[in-house]
Amino acid sequence: MNHTVTEIGSFVQSNALQKRFNEIIPGGSHTYAKGDDQYPETSLPYIVKGKGCHIWDVDGNEFIEYAMGLRSVTLGHAFTPVNEAAKQAMDLGINFNRPATIELECAEIVLDIIKGQEMVKFAKNGSDATSAAVLLARAYTGRDMIAICGDHPFFSVEGWFIGTTAVNSGIPKAIQDMTVKFKYNDLQSLKDLFAQYPNQIACIILEAEKDVPPAPNYFKELKKLCHENGAVFILDEIITGFRWHNGGAQTMYDIQPDLASFGKAIANGFALSALVGKKEIMQLGGLQHDKDRVFLMSTTYGAESHALAAAMATIKVYQQEPVIQHLYTQGAKLRKGIEQSVQELHLEGHFGVSGKDCALVYYTKDQQKQPSQPYRTLFLQETMRRGLLAPSLIVSYSHSDQDVAQTLDIIHESLQVYRKALDEGIEKYLLGRPVKPVYRKKN
């Protein structure tokens, strides 16, 4: 142990706010992953500020944060060069009736760093970009069906994806039936879909990587199979973009998709996403063709100047400083330290980390080594009471060596409780109800 771990104070003011949040905001949050059901009911802080990788709640409790705005804040909260660029842009006006020159400037920068892509269009959310890609693929191919990777958890808030989950209330069955699933790293599963639905699948969409890396030549063979069957190849880089590599996972793995979506880390938490791709497909959303018009991402706020300025400043930091290297380095330190604690406490098979060092996640398993929400809750409960907010272990450029060392001390202490719960029964240590998966039929 390197530091003395001090437990945080109470959540008195946060607890007082909870009722009102849920009275006027469905679910008490504007994002499902931030909801009350995703955290222990004894630890539901409401945040008032952040700096670097530290955040403070209304009770004055300080946390080291991981996940960092659902992976969007890659440089750190209130990162000065980004915020200053956004402020300067705001002083010139943020939204006009005709395109602002900053829109072209930012587009040039994005296409320069994401090699091989020819056109870009901006919006606000990742779902905007992925759904626009699906729309373009359908228009380009004249087909309706979508093939998604069933091993990846989220692609869009739109019906073509949500209809495939347990939370499909309100999605017409006709829409649900137009989406089918294939398996990651399993070309045969996609071949079977193309055989089952000949000349019906408009596109495939998948993330570049989640917890498991792509098999050798997987993407090249996937793209070949896709094109042989007349489908568009869409790569969802909302998470991997500007985290795996400055040019995205497509640069790292030397694969050029037909269309790709970027978001999250592109503007250090400012609301911006981007759809990039081949001109042959992207221009269907433009004016310089004689085919049927495609109504493509027409958003009032898609090109707000301050968000574009934030993106340009963020990308500049990526280009001038070792941001990506830092993410891998600090993630590797976390992995090594946690593995040492797991070994020392004999928690092999019960707790561990997976994924790339730049985007680690952890798993929690019970006595029978089965995935467990109660044990996830226990881990969150114990880490949060010690000043760590870690629904995952996503590092930022602001996570210092000291932050990582303190994090490892907190995790070690929390895993000591985890070990006791395995030996003596979790009911002795878990306070309140367990967290729940987002995709469930009933509350």
pLDDT at 6: 72
Q: Based on the fold, state whether residues 273 and 385 are members of the same structural domain.
A: no
In this structure, what token pair is assigned to residue 152? Answer: 């990846």
Q: Based on the fold, state whether residues 386 and 417 are members of the same structural domain.
A: yes
- 89 in a structural domain: no
List Cβ neighbours of 336 (8 Å cut-off, separation of 6 or more): none
Q: Based on the fold, state whether residues 169 and 244 are members of the same structural domain.
A: yes
| 3-class DSSP string for 172-239 | CHHHHCCEEEECCCCHHHHHHHHHHCCCCEEEEEEECCCCCCCCCCHHHHHHHHHHHCCCEEEEEECC
Arithmetic mean of pLDDT, 361-386: 97
Q: What are phi and psi of 203, to 5 degrees?
A: -160, 165
Q: Is 323 helix (H, G, I), strand (E, B) or coil?
A: helix
Q: What percentage of residues in the chain have a pLDDT greater than 90?
A: 97
User: Is residue 18 predicted with pLDDT exceeding 80?
Assistant: yes
Arithmetic mean of pLDDT, 209-237: 97
pLDDT at 2: 55
pLDDT in tens, 136-176: 999 999 999 999 999 999 999 999 999 999 999 999 999 99
- 406 in a structural domain: yes
pLDDT in tens, 96-151: 999 999 999 999 999 999 999 999 999 999 999 999 999 999 999 999 999 999 99
Q: Among 4-8, 372-376, 437-441, where is mean pLDDT lowest? A: 4-8
Q: What are phi and psi of 180, to 5 degrees?
A: -125, 165
- Please state the domain count of the chain: 2
299/128 Cα distance (integer angstroms) = 9
DSSP 381: H
Query: Where residue 4 falls among pLDDT bands split at 50, 70, 90?
Result: low
User: Is residue 1 predicted with pLDDT exceeding 70?
Assistant: no
pLDDT at 8: 80
What is the rounded average pLDDT for all residues in the chain?
A: 96
Degrees, nearest 5: CA angle 287-291-297: 50
pLDDT at 219: 98
Last residue of one domain, picked from the residues 303, 338, 356: 303
Q: Which of 284, 271, 290 is nearest to 134 (CA)?
A: 284
- 413 in a structural domain: yes
Query: Where residue 352 falls among pLDDT bands split at 50, 70, 90?
Result: very high
Residue 17, domain CATH = 3.90.1150.10
Q: Based on the fold, state whether residues 132 and 276 are members of the same structural domain.
A: yes
167/154 Cα distance (integer angstroms) = 12
pLDDT at 29: 94
Q: Under a CB-based contact definition with an 8 Å cutoff, are residues 162 and 32 in contact?
A: no
**What pTM value is reported for the model?**
0.95
User: Is residue 178 predicted with pLDDT exceeding 60?
Assistant: yes
Q: Based on the fold, state whether residues 70 and 105 are members of the same structural domain.
A: no
Q: Based on the fold, state whether residues 343 and 212 are members of the same structural domain.
A: no
Q: Based on the fold, state whether residues 378 and 413 are members of the same structural domain.
A: yes
pLDDT at 10: 87
Q: Based on the fold, state whether residues 263 and 230 are members of the same structural domain.
A: yes
In this structure, what token pair is assigned to residue 293? Answer: 């018009």
Q: Based on the fold, state whether residues 199 and 299 are members of the same structural domain.
A: yes
Q: Based on the fold, state whether residues 268 and 392 are members of the same structural domain.
A: no
pLDDT in tens, 24-49: 999 999 999 999 999 999 999 999 99
Query: Where residue 84 falls among pLDDT bands split at 50, 70, 90?
Result: very high
pLDDT in tens, 46-64: 999 999 999 999 999 999 9
pLDDT at 5: 72
Residue 269, domain CATH = 3.40.640.10
Q: Based on the fold, state whether residues 70 and 101 are members of the same structural domain.
A: no
- What residue numbers bound the domain in which 258 lies? 95-303
Q: What percentage of residues in the chain have a pLDDT greater than 70?
A: 99
H/E run at residue 64: strand 62-65
Q: Based on the fold, state whether residues 55 and 114 are members of the same structural domain.
A: no
Query: Which residues on adjacent β-strands are paired with residue 386?
Result: none
Q: Where are the beta strands (DSSP E) in 110-175?
A: 119-123, 145-149
pLDDT at 3: 55
- Amino acid sitting at position 159: G
pLDDT at 45: 95
